[in-house]
Structure 1
Amino acid sequence: MKRRDFFRQGTLATIATAVPASVQAGTKQARNIIFLVSDGMSTGTLNMADLYRQRREGHGTHWLGLYRENKARRALMDTASASSLVTDSAAASSSWGGGVRVPNGSLNVGANGEVYRPILQKFKAAGKSVGCVTTVPITHATPAGFCVNSKSRGSMEDIADQYLTLRFDVMMGGGTDVFSKETRKDKRDLFQAFRDKDFSVAVNRDEMLKLSFDKPILGVFHPDGLPYMLDREQDENLKKTIPTLAEMTKTALARLSRNPKGFVLQVEGGKVDWSAHANDIGGLLNEQLAFDDALKVALDFAEKDGNTLVIITTDHGNSNPGLCGGGNINVNFDRIQKFRHTNDWILNKITREDTPARITELFEAEQGIVLKPDEAKAILENYTHLDESGVYNARKLPFQKLAAMQVAHTSVGWAGKDHSADFVELAMVGPGSELLPPFVKNTDLHTFMLRATGVKNEG
């Protein structure tokens, strides 16, 4: 036996023997799985979102509510990839999707070209309906890791082409640039190609809410990732045209639950990760709460259905934010409730023609923060040499510089601006959850899901 296979089988055996055989024998099989991923969620993000919701709304998050009420099985998960202790989202999702650790940047393709069949393909072959919803492009790493094989997560036009061939039942999120003939490199109208294959296609919230459920669904609602929730709430047009993650989840469940053989749905709060990269506390907390609202939709469905396993986790930490000691912590943290816009929204409004005084006015109006004159001047200096390259911060805007200034006003500090190697939270509710041991590798979830639903691990 190969060393890799020995350890892989050994870990999976740990899951199978984590509880007595008598308990395993009495375990109810899940017909459905809802797999929820708050992408890039450090433990501090989970904690602060709960505190934020308590102080703003008088109750905690639905996720932490499961812990308080002892309704969930809970574990820690090791998130490493084949190439690094610190994974990226492609390798992380592939660990769940293909059941094998692959190098960062790859989607279910090993370092030597090995191809591992993604889990939604396995569930679809078993007769279940399958789908993904996300707040970032639907061709992005986390949904793609459940769906396709690709040597590069960046090959999003090809990933979209694969979605058409694979014919999944629901795919919704951002990324119209990947489907539109005006922005695709090959000028192919992929929206029309999906319609020609008898998909229901929605490109705004109103169309999504009016969808017929007798066809597969493609919903793509923004050129890139969806707007941040904090910014959406200040814009009536965005509220009318861009669905929330909770609304997409509810729509997906309405479509997928029509199948008597069951379904598997992945739900991703992808912009939790993006806001963590940017050290954007207003964006981060509101994106985590938007994810928590989607979790509530999933939990309500599962409680009523009785046959659904709900899995709640993240793929890795990011930037490790936390509420730090010092004076005025409560006042500072509560100040975030008054934010009207994210740092991302404000920094993209600034131009090199602005003045320090104008920048000070902008932050005071949108966040209630009064920057010092030298701080406003330091922000403006970045706009004399903008760089349009990059992935998460294409214009090289001064996110980290601004976040360092905001610590005195919010009491929230950051350990960095990138993914971390933390062991992360994993929770389960529903049939099969009682088999979860207290510590797992990310790859273990692949076989766990198949076993929980009684689907053979073939291919």
Structure 2
Amino acid sequence: MGKKVLTFATLLFVYFAFALNVIILVGDGMSTNQLFLASILEGRILNTMTLPYTGITTTYSADSWVTDSAPAASALFSGFKILNKVIGVLPNGEPVPSIFELAKKAGYKIGIAVTCQITHATPAGVYANVDNRNDELGIAKQFVDKEVVDVAFGGGWQWFTPASKGGSRKDELDLIKAAMEKGYKYISTVNELENISAENEKVLGLFAKNYLDPVSERSSSQPKLDLMTKKALEILSASGKPFMLMVEGSQIDWEAHANDFYGVWKEVVEFDDAVKVALDFAKKDGNTLVIVLGDHETGGLSLSTGGYAINVEQARKAKGTTTMFLKQFNINDKDAFIAGIKEWYGVNMSDSEYETLKKVPSNNLRRELARYISFKVGFGWTTYDHTAQPVPVYAFGPGAENFTGVLDNTDIAKIVARLTKITTVQFPSIVAK
């Protein structure tokens, strides 16, 4: 018998057959206490907590012990420390590719599924390089121009749409049309998402003008994160090529900024439902690494305000976020407001507490009320901003044992690069420790 010749096509098939799939799920603003708050109130172990390997990561940026989401995403996805407010650009001005961009060049399919706009800091860390995270118009253009991401689900159609069509682009570029010309299937409704065919290898799904509604208030007209994760996995895996998917529970952070325990609870649960989808896929597939972690902690959440107690049963009976409450109750109507606090949160508000809250400027009332309610049921907060607290990382699947011990957030991308055998780009002026 003659020798068999391995063609390039055969080698490519062999590579794709054994290349590792990677799903990274980021709980924005989520550390251990946000997870345990939800676990306590749910009365169960969360899916995230069942992953077999656990580590801790530090989160500081290039210029502060307290990171912004932009350099946090850049560190997690590129392996380099970045300045606060910057995405994918080193302090010396050099742009750096994310592990997703390097994977795309290696033949991977790339996806994102988020509850914020897809041009927000964390999803932008997958594909963009900008000096200012607030440049969402520029980030949207990079999304279309660079074509790093094959499947994107989230919000933010205004950043892709001309002002003349109700969007925010004064340059009148129609980036949705441009994306469709590049082969993307555009969808904007839950029904379209539920029925999208996996034969569409490139899909752009934008389900809100900006970010999706908070999960506590989200109607059936906008998708939940588990559905977006499920459909992204269906599409990405259908081609037979390896893939990387980034999923973000974007609004855990926003509810923590507001010090709203109820909002954090419900956002963590939505995120955890998406983790279950990823885990179920990975267990069935056998060749998928799942990484679940926070990008930083928000709020300085504590699981007690003293007295060795949390009023768990009282907290479980809460009817909604303070945003929802303030839509129904006017603080200037004292009797109705105090009665509403009792009905919604089981809290007996005193006259002096009411008078103190009434003096709060309207733009701060939501969070001051949320902190007050949290304290009454036993949850404390130290800030309305981010903290330097380390965050947990959980892992499942091939290579999961590498995500243990104390890590830096830059280690995540480096470990993924090593496990997937994707060559990292070298930057002579930067020494990546």
Task: Answer yes or no: same fold by TM over 0.5.
Answer: yes
In the alignment, the residues of structure 1 paired with residue 83 and residue 327 of structure 2 have an alpha-carbon distance, to the nearest angstrom, of 34
Partner of 1:74: 54
Choose 31-40 or 255-264, whichever is displaced more. 255-264
Contact map agreement 1:29 1:453 (CA 8 A) in 2: no
Unaligned residue ranges in structure 1 (runs of 5+):
1-27, 67-71, 233-237, 387-395
In the alignment, the residues of structure 2 paired with residue 174 and residue 130 of structure 1 have an alpha-carbon distance, to the nearest angstrom, of 18
State the shift of 1:131 in Å. 1.2
Partner amino acid, structure 2, of 1:176: W
Partner of 1:262: 242
Partner of 1:25: none
In the alignment, the residues of structure 2 paired with residue 325 and residue 361 of structure 1 have an alpha-carbon distance, to the nearest angstrom, of 24
Matched pairs, number: 404
SS in structure 1 of the partner of residue 238 of structure 2: coil
Partner of 2:167: 183
Partner of 1:286: 266
| Residue identity (%) | 34
- Alignment match of 1:403 (pick from 370, 380, 405): 370
Partner of 2:196: 211
Partner of 1:69: none
Deviations 1:204-228 (A, max 9, x none): 2112112132241111122332222
- Alignment match of 2:338 (pick from 349, 360, 366): 360
State the shift of 1:358 in Å. 3.2
Partner of 2:389: 422
1:221 aligns to 2:202 (yes or no): no
Deviations 1:351-373 (A, max 9, x none): 68x42223234434444444333
Contact map agreement 1:375 1:405 (CA 8 A) in 2: no
Contact map agreement 2:154 2:206 (CA 8 A) in 1: yes
Choose 302-311 or 218-227, whichever is displaced more. 218-227
1:440 aligns to 2:407 (yes or no): yes
1:141 aligns to 2:121 (yes or no): yes
State the shift of 1:51 in Å. 1.4
Contact map agreement 2:118 2:124 (CA 8 A) in 1: yes
Superposition RMSD on alpha carbons, in Å? 2.2
Contact map agreement 2:226 2:273 (CA 8 A) in 1: yes
Which aligned pairs between 1:34-433 and structure 2 lie closer than 5 A?
34-54=23-43, 59-66=44-51, 72-167=52-147, 168-181=149-162, 182-186=166-170, 187-213=172-198, 214-232=200-218, 238=219, 240-324=220-304, 326=306, 329=309, 332-348=311-327, 354-382=332-360, 386=362, 396-433=363-400
Partner amino acid, structure 1, of 2:378: S
In the alignment, the residues of structure 2 paired with residue 351 and residue 125 of structure 1 have an alpha-carbon distance, to the nearest angstrom, of 55
Partner of 1:23: none
Choose 400-409 or 448-457, whichever is displaced more. 400-409
Contact map agreement 1:228 1:342 (CA 8 A) in 2: no
Contact map agreement 2:161 2:169 (CA 8 A) in 1: no
Moved over 4 A (4+): 325-328, 348-352
Q: 1:454 to 1:170 in 2, by over 3 A?
A: same
Contact map agreement 1:347 1:397 (CA 8 A) in 2: no
Unaligned residue ranges in structure 2 (runs of 5+):
1-16, 427-433
Q: Taking structure 1 as the reference length, what is the TM-score of the superposition?
A: 0.83
Choose 313-322 or 182-191, whichever is displaced more. 182-191
SS in structure 1 of the partner of residue 173 of structure 2: coil
Contact map agreement 2:257 2:385 (CA 8 A) in 1: yes
Partner amino acid, structure 1, of 2:155: G
State the shift of 1:185 in Å. 3.5
Partner of 1:24: none
Q: 1:245 to 1:336 in 2, by over 3 A?
A: same
Contact map agreement 1:230 1:340 (CA 8 A) in 2: no
Q: Taking structure 2 as the reference length, what is the TM-score of the superposition?
A: 0.87
